[in-house]
Amino acid sequence: MSDPTGAVSHATDADFATSVLARSQAEPVLVDFWAAWCGPCRALGPVLERIAASEAGRVAVVKLDTDANPEVARRYEIRSIPAVKLFHRGEVVAEFVGALPEAQIRAFLDEHVPSEAGERAHDAAHALALGDLADARAHAEAALAAGPAAAAAATAHAVLARCALAAGDVDGAARHAAAVPATAPEADVAEAIGELAALAATTAADRGDGAEPAARFARAIDQVVRGDVPGGLEGLLALVADHRRWNDEAARKAMLVVFRVIGLRSETSDAFRRRLSMVL
């Protein structure tokens, strides 16, 4: 956590890994790369001290003298000072150069310092990648409850759409997918999840043991939704081979939707894309 006094601390080449990189795993760290001979650096100093005091608990402020610590300055390609970089989880996430006015620096922090919602959304996406759907759902719901944050909300809704789909809740999947803005990075996947959920909803009545294309298509979609993606893709591929033009090539188009849901460059997508091209 930040120093409760909001005091500005100092980093060196020797301790940068702990005083900044490791510390930024727990809280954002704003690093001021400066030098004693630099007039704008001296002007910026008091501004950062006020920010350190008022933003204690939200962001830590650390100064690094580039003359005394050339190794870190070279590593981060400091060519003009003052250079200010915001570190989070060990990486530079935002930066600016020059002695900006205090109001502009505070606006910079408002834009780039991770919020509780953002942290929860990040944790949700991480849990989803690990396959922990319960944890992913809990973090995503917490992100939405933490307050308005457009990027965090988009990630949270995308995670919840996947979780709902995996649980067979096609209505929930469609609802959360629709809540992801078209401008969000998750938009394409969310749209594909919505399309798959719609397919599952409209074909539910056709499931059965029949050999007709509609029944086979419905069973394949159901397999995908319930988590057996390879099995569902096998069923769709067989349907393409047997009835390629059935229902305006619905099976082929459904496979393309599934590829988008699981990742266009995933191993499963690559394997079935190759097999689909051979069938076609």
Q: Which amino acid is at 176?
A: H
What's the pLDDT score for residue 163? 94
Query: In this predicted model, what pLDDT tens digit does every residue of 181-235 receive, in sequence order?
Result: 998 889 999 999 999 999 999 988 787 777 899 999 999 999 999 889 999 999 9
CB 155 within 8 A of CB 125: yes
Distance CA 197, CA 220 (A): 13
Distance CA 117, CA 145 (A): 8
Q: How many CA atoms lie within 13 A of 87 on its CB side?
A: 26
Neighbouring CB atoms inside 10 A of 237's CB total: 19
- pTM of full prediction above 0.75: no
Active-site residue, selected from the candidate residues 11, 41, 170, 189: 41
- 38 an active-site residue? yes
CB 57 within 8 A of CB 69: no
Distance CA 119, CA 161 (A): 19
What's the pLDDT score for residue 3? 52
Q: Please, what are the averages of pLDDT over each run of 10 residues along the chain (280 residues)?
A: 66 96 93 96 95 88 96 94 94 93 88 81 91 94 82 90 91 95 91 95 82 93 92 96 95 97 94 94
Handedness of CA 114, 115, 116, 120 (dihedral sign): negative
Burial class for 73, CB neighbours closer than 10 Å (0-12, 13-18, 19+): buried
Which residues have C-beta within 8 Å of that of residue 43, sequence separation ≥ 6?
Answer: 99
Distance CA 247, CA 233 (A): 17
Distance CA 69, CA 93 (A): 22
Active-site residue, selected from the candidate residues 38, 117, 144, 199: 38
Q: Which amino acid is at 175?
A: R
> What torsion do the CA atoms of 59, 62, 66, 69 make, to the nearest 10 degrees?
-120
- 41 an active-site residue? yes
CB 95 within 8 A of CB 84: yes
What's the pLDDT score for residue 6? 62
Sheet holding 9-10, edge to edge: 9-10, 60-65, 29-34, 83-88, 91-97
